[in-house]
Amino acid sequence: MGNNNSNVLTKEQAKSIADETGFSKAQVFHFYARFKQIDKNGKNWLSRSDFHSQPELSENMISDRIVNAMFGTKDRMEFVDFVRLLATFKPTNKKNEEHLKKSKLKLLFSIYDTEMTGVISKKDMLNLIEDMTDDCENATSEVKGLKINKEVYQDAIFEDILLPWTQTTFRQRFWTYQRDSPLAHKAKFMQQWYHANMPNFIDSSQRPPIPPI
């Protein structure tokens, strides 16, 4: 649809995109409806800012890297590019396995290789770590200056910061929480909170006295 100024997806266009990507025509029309939702200004193409305005992505600590990897060297994403991107995440089968593996690896590689040198350098890895820890440092600064008692520890740190962060970061994925050494982590009320709010938790009775490296 890149050269078509129409704001309507025709059946012929949907069939062409479906044939190329392996989606059904019904799926292509469904994707078009979502495409139009993201395209707030009716441009009939998407910009980086369109994606950054989506709550699901804007809350991700490496959202800039993800969006840049999606766009590559382009400044806009046409609908056909949008569907091609979605096709990257399709389940593999014998017909498309090799192609989709390469597409997924290329996308993941570009998230690390932000300078597009074709090589993941030590600097790239350090930049990624910095991007991922910035949010944690910002979250920590929000509770500086507070007198940490039982209520503040549970409500201000775990309820207001840690739990929302895990929900946006891990979503439906399984994860395990292992506490560190502060005595407050051993408190009975915190042990109960961990069990109630975390999918998997290594409590004080299971944790070795010296954390594993």
Per the domain annotation, does 126 fall within a domain? no
Q: Is residue 184 classed as helix, strand or coil in its secondary structure? A: helix
pLDDT in tens, 70-126: 998 899 999 999 999 999 888 767 777 787 788 888 888 988 888 888 888 888 888
CATH number of the domain within which 95 lies: 1.10.238.10
Query: Quick check: 134 pLDDT over 90?
Result: no
Residue 24 shares a structural domain with residue 63: yes
Q: Could you tell me where the DSSP H helices lie in the chain?
A: 11-21, 25-38, 48-52, 55-58, 63-71, 79-87, 97-112, 122-141, 150-152, 163-170, 188-197
Per the domain annotation, does 209 fall within a domain? no
pLDDT in tens, 16-62: 999 999 899 999 999 999 999 999 889 999 999 999 898 878 777 78
Residue 32 shares a structural domain with residue 102: yes
User: What pTM was computed for the model?
Assistant: 0.56
> In total, how many domains does the chain have?
2
User: Are 46 and 76 contacting, i.e. CB atoms less than 8 angstroms apart?
Assistant: yes
19: domain range? 11-112
Which pLDDT value is given to residue 187? 66
CA distance 194 to 77: 43
- Give 46's strand partners: 77
Residue 73 shares a structural domain with residue 163: no
Residue 87 shares a structural domain with residue 173: no
* Mean pLDDT over the full length of the chain: 78
Per the domain annotation, does 132 fall within a domain? no
Higher pLDDT, 174 or 10: 10
